[in-house]
Amino acid sequence: MDKFHFLYSALFLHLIIFYTGANAALNNFSTVPFGKGFRPLFGEPNIKRSADDNTVQLHLNQYTGSGFKSSDLYSHGFFSAKIKLPSDYTAGIVVAFYTTNGDVFRKTHDELDFEFLGNIRGKAWRFQTNMYGNGSTSRGREERYYLWFDPSREFHRYSILWTTKKIIFYIDNVPIREIIRNEEMGADYPSKPMSLYATIWDASDWATSGGKYKTNYKYAPFIAEFTDLALHGCVVDPLEEIFSSGCAEQDDQLQSANYASISPKQRVAMKNFRQKYMYYSYCYDSLRYSVPPSECVVDPLEKLRFKETGRLKFDEKRKQRRSKKSRSQDIGTRNNYGNQDED
């Protein structure tokens, strides 16, 4: 992505966020200390908790990554955390913030993901969101994007809203993706109770530029930091066939919360984010889906910007400018960090 264009777009989006008041939408909820809502998942020696128990670090070194999960499962919910990602050279590393029930329903699991895909210093960070329902891993619904800021410099809030009717992914209170449930989706829409997870791990074989750039443990330990964790939803036993009436009431409250609806001004922010920073969408991947999945809202004009692979078409003149720029870059910088593919 052209550096000037990226910086200009980032400034433009920040102005939209500021003037729409989007930053006020998700501040009215309580957070939970780690010990009251979560437990270690793996790599416990690499999990570092703060003295007040409101912040936790996940470390990755040459021996193991680490992760934690919520102590309970939720029928539906709002899940949120402020996250600061590892700094410097982080190619090959995945930091994930997601909901799933894979440990209970191994062949029919549901899942909602934020996955941050490692980075080479000086490049825009990339991440993806995804949704699985009832073990539909062959029908993934990935979207991939650039971040408009450096997520390793300070904390940013990432949130997942999951109700009986819709799913919304938020970054810093800006909705970046909305999935509206419809009958045709059937079991592909997540419907079984899920827990919240956070992990850091080595995914050198695919994470950064399709696996071209590997994890370099010279820069270890890699640290992802989580604070102000939020869990809002009805706690359930996943093996119960009928959930209590209290869950129906809490689900109704969840759907009436301010973060469960997107205002017209927030929609402007979401549209601008998706136009400027989304570089892959399964909805436009006609090689994978000859007919887009039923939840896809296909914009004919937007579709023209994407190849049949679902990946963004890059302007040829911009690619030529990038090529000239890369040849003139400092050799030492390129030797240290490589040249991350735009595709």
| Euclidean distance between the first and the last CA atom of the chain, given in angstroms as a whole number | 10
The pLDDT value recorded for residue 242 is 62
Positive or negative torsion for Cα 41, 47, 49, 54: negative
Q: Is residue 338 part of a domain?
A: no
- Report the percentage of the chain scoring pLDDT > 70: 82
Q: Which pLDDT score is estimated for 329?
A: 46
- The count of C-alpha atoms lying within 13 angstroms of the C-alpha of 212, restricted to the half-sphere facing its C-beta, is 11
Determine which one of 111, 143, 225, 295 is catalytic.
111
pLDDT for residue 29? 82
CA 49 to CA 51: how far, in whole Å? 7
Instruction: Give the CATH number, domain containing residue 114.
Output: 2.60.120.200
Q: Among residues 126, 98, 120, which one has the least CA distance to residue 111?
A: 98
21 in any annotated domain: yes
Q: Is residue 192 part of a domain?
A: yes
Q: What count of other Cβ atoms lies within 10 Å of the Cβ of residue 229?
A: 24
Mean pLDDT of the chain: 87
pLDDT at 305 over 70: yes
Tokens 């799933």 -> residue: 100
Output the furthest CA–CA distance in the chain (Å, rounded): 65
Sorting pLDDT into bands at 50, 70 and 90, what band is 142?
A: very high
**Residue range 188-207, pLDDT digits in tens:** 999 999 999 999 999 999 99
Residue 334: inside a domain: no
Q: Of 115, 143, 225, 295, which residue is the catalytic one?
A: 115
For residue 149, the enclosing domain spans 3-329
pLDDT: is 247 or 77 the higher one?
A: 77
Residue 306 CA from chain centroid, whole number: 21
Quote the number of domains for the chain.
1
C-alpha–C-alpha distance, residues 77 and 63, integer Å? 34
Q: What are phi and psi of 327, to 5 degrees?
A: -70, -25
Instruction: List, in order, residues 6 or more apart from 270 with CB less than 8 Å away.
Output: 174, 175, 176, 177, 178, 262
**Averaged pLDDT, 99-128:** 93
In a domain, 88, yes or no: yes
Query: Does residue 115 carry a catalytic annotation?
Result: yes
Q: Which residue has the tokens 């990755």?
A: 60
13-17, 56-60, 252-256, range with the lowest pLDDT: 13-17
pLDDT band at 244; cut points 50, 70, 90: low
Token pair of 114 as six digits = 């934020």
Is 141's pLDDT higher than 50?
A: yes
State the CB neighbour count (10 A cutoff) for residue 128.
17
Q: Output the six-digit token pair for 295.
A: 């939840």
Amino acid identity, residue 300?
A: P
Say if 130 falls within a structural domain.
yes
**pLDDT tens digits along 43-81:** 999 999 999 999 999 999 999 999 999 999 999 999 999
Summarize the confidence of residues 217-232 as an average pLDDT: 97
Residue 336 lies in a domain: no
pLDDT bin (cut points 50, 70, 90) of residue 91 is: very high
